[in-house]
Amino acid sequence: LDIGCGAGVFLQYLHHRGFRDVAAVDYDENMRDALADIEQAGFAVESMEAEAFIDRVKGQRRFDRIVLFDILEHMELDQCVSLLGKLHGILNSGGKILIRVPNVTSPWGLRMQFDTFDHVTIFSPGRIQELAMLSGYTVTALKGEISGKRRKIIFQRCLHWMLARLLPYHPEIWEPLVICTFEEPA
């Protein structure tokens, strides 16, 4: 389940990787045209609020993976906790929730967070751990998202290594985006 699928970039990736039993939801009705190809490929795409979708499918369908990429920073903290809490009802036993948010402890993540007025909740590795606890999950993976060409990645790692030795404070994760996995506690 892709919550907040937008124009369907991640859905297209899943389609090309051979996934077929995929559902997606986005509240923006204007995305329907952009998602037409994905729907024709057999993916179930709904235009509604995520919580309304969860209420509708609860008891009828469960998911092994639920993805929230670039979504939670657009919501108030209490809304994030509520949404994640509702996901317990549709997540399969042993299922995982994958989350990607801007990392405000990174100098590069600050720009991503504060470059737009619609980012209302800030996240850091510590706050992600807190969010998991507040919503009844355990963080099983937490790392910076690395993307780009090999040369750029090597340059970034060298720069981060150098800055970590020069600065009195440095983030544990330098990358501008943090990607993490939530699971229900055993």
- Print burial letters for 117-132: b (CB count within 10 Å at least 16), e (below 16): eebebbbbbebbeebb
The CA-CA-CA angle for residues 50, 51, 55, to 5°, reads 120
The yes-or-no verdict on residue 143 having pLDDT over 90 is: yes
- CATH architecture of the domain with range 2-183: 3-Layer(aba) Sandwich (3.40)
Phi first, then psi, for residue 182 (nearest 5°) are -105, 140
pLDDT at 186: 76
For residue 174, name the pLDDT band (cuts at 50, 70, 90): confident
User: What single-letter amino acid sits at 86?
Assistant: K
pLDDT at 4: 94
pLDDT at 113: 78
Residue 100, H or E segment? strand 91-102
pLDDT (tens digit, 9 = 90+) per residue, 37-51?
888 888 889 999 999
φ/ψ region of 59 (left if φ > 0, alpha if ψ in -120 to 50, else beta) reads: left
The yes-or-no verdict on residue 112 having pLDDT over 80 is: no
Work out the number of other CB atoms within 10 angstroms of the CB of residue 33.
Answer: 9
The yes-or-no verdict on residue 111 having pLDDT over 80 is: no
The CA distance from 99 to 179, in Å, is 6
Mean pLDDT of all residues belonging to the chain: 91
Contact 125, 177 (CB under 8 A): no
Instruction: Pick 76 or 34 by higher pLDDT.
Output: 76
Mean pLDDT throughout 17-21?
90
The CA distance from 43 to 150, in Å, is 33
Verdict on whether the full-model pTM lies above 0.85: yes
The yes-or-no verdict on residue 126 having pLDDT over 80 is: yes
pLDDT at 103: 93
pLDDT at 120: 92
